[in-house]
Structure 1
């Protein structure tokens, strides 16, 4: 009287790569810059650059505050000390990393630091115009909360749409690093 489940065939994802090689990463960053290098969308460029050039996880990036960023040092770095997840029934939850090794200092290159500094200035001006205080690095459009977990994927896909850059998932940027 047991009914066995019917197997479902896996979707074909042969069009997608797990990691970018150097030329693909360069083409990806060119596509991101072409699409998002403007005041209204600069946060998307900064976010995708951060993921690809630091290897931090999406949830760790979404949880960042400006006090975690040390951009004005000789060797800029980010304190990764929390992660963010969407918890069904509880909304957004920020927790410490699962393991002791999850709390770490992530060094960043000068170009990434400069991009993040520019994003901090753009965001700061927008917050001042609206009279809103915020220490959150990746705010939503209303500047009142954090970005949702699926937004970086949408940004990534929109950036490479219409280009020869192969599709990758957001976590693939961590593996690329």
Structure 2
């Protein structure tokens, strides 16, 4: 924009200039403005200098490496993110993405090069597809800010062949009968262990949610537990720190608890002298403690082999699966919306996609129906 004339607050004539400098992370135009010049000639000279500044920036952008772009983009992108998310994304870039791309010039990234890179990442690890998504976010930022004339990711597709070698086994959850045997084992162990595994199995809480519980969150009279916070992990700077955060996907909720689970918690409360249910060195119990309990369980030669695949997340999975299983056994439709609310899922699709694995009992019901024939 060429110099324009205006009057300042004193009514004196002055000249103003402004120039376009690209877009911010939200796609909003960036305009640099200068004003206060007494003559048009001064404004014209300043305008030429401003355009030269923009051209020099553009030339510098052509030589910008992926690592330099990351250093600009990530502080902006990470604002407002949970520390646990920042830790995870930082790890993706420093351990994987940048190791392959940091010396490449952003202006020289082409669709074929990016497609090959994403395909290789997908074959390298199951999370390789996720690395590609974050890489795309960063390159899209460069495009919105006019650091590159076009977005090469517009012509790149998500890899269809991925590495499933580290994928979890499907059978990490238990059916009703297996859950009974699992809890029977813990019934004869320390009360804190039995209370933990009983509660997570009969509530479907996430690991971070159950660790953050305080006794004030449990209403023994109304038979409910309030989930209003969770424990997160921040493992930046070579250390691991716990912090209290909001439940995932704003999934705060109040759940009904069965009488047996409440009875176990009452018994446990008699020997727990802290405000939190699972006290630890830094107030809350460490994430690894229940993992160690479960690993010791798996190493016990007395434990049935069909129980040894279960994981802590699998016990959350178990809760939803058993609800579906028991509904089917009793000839009722699974209450999907109620299960979604209980599990704290953001969408009903998550409940359907993740928690509708068919158990052996449900398979047997289908087999019986087919054997009897349809009327």
**TM-score over 0.5 (shorter chain):** yes
How large is the RMSD of aligned CA atoms in angstroms?
A: 2.4
| 1:98 has 2:248 as partner | yes
Q: 2:228 maps to which residue?
A: 81
3-state SS of paired residue (2:244)? strand
Alignment partners' CA distance in 1, 2:241 and 2:179: 34
Contact kept, 8 Å, 1:157 with 1:167, in 2: the verdict is: no
Once the two structures are TM-superposed, the CA of residue 91 in structure 1 deviates from its matched residue by 1.3
- Partners of 1:83 and 1:96 within 8 A in 2: yes
Report Cα offsets for 1:71-120 as digits up to 9, x if no partner: 2x1x41101000111211471110122334x1110111111001111111
Instruction: Give runs of aligned pairs for residues 31-70 of structure 1, distance below 5 A.
Output: 31-34=185-188, 36=189, 41-70=190-219
Q: 1:13 Cα deviation (Å)? A: 6.1
Deviations 1:9-34 (CA, angstroms, capped at 9, x unpaired): 725865x7221011110111111123
Give the aligned length. Answer: 157
Partner Cα distance (2:318, 2:248) in 1: 22
Q: Does 1:20 align with 2:162?
A: no
2:278 to 138, 154, 157: 138
- Provide the secondary structure at the position in 2 that maps to 1:99: helix
Change (3 A) 1:94 1:21: same
Cα deviation 1:30-86 (Å, max 9, x = unaligned): 11123x1xxxx2111111111001111110000011111112x1x411010001112
Structure with max Cα Rg? 2
Distance 1:11 1:97 in 2: 27
Structure 2 counterpart of 1:151, from 285, 289, 292: 289
Distance 1:54 1:12, change over 3 A: closer
Give the aligned partner of residue 63 of structure 2: none
Q: Taking structure 2 as the reference length, what is the TM-score of the superposition? A: 0.38
Gaps of 5+ in 1: 125-133
> Relative to total residues, which structure has the larger helix share, 1 or 2?
2
Give the equivalent residue in structure 2 for 1:128.
Answer: none
Unaligned 5+ segments in structure 2 are 1-112, 126-162, 320-375
Q: Secondary structure at the residue paired with 2:172?
A: coil
Equivalent position to 2:264, from 115, 131, 146: 115
Question: TM-score if structure 1 supplies the norm length?
Answer: 0.78
Q: Which moved more, 1:45-54 or 1:156-165?
A: 156-165
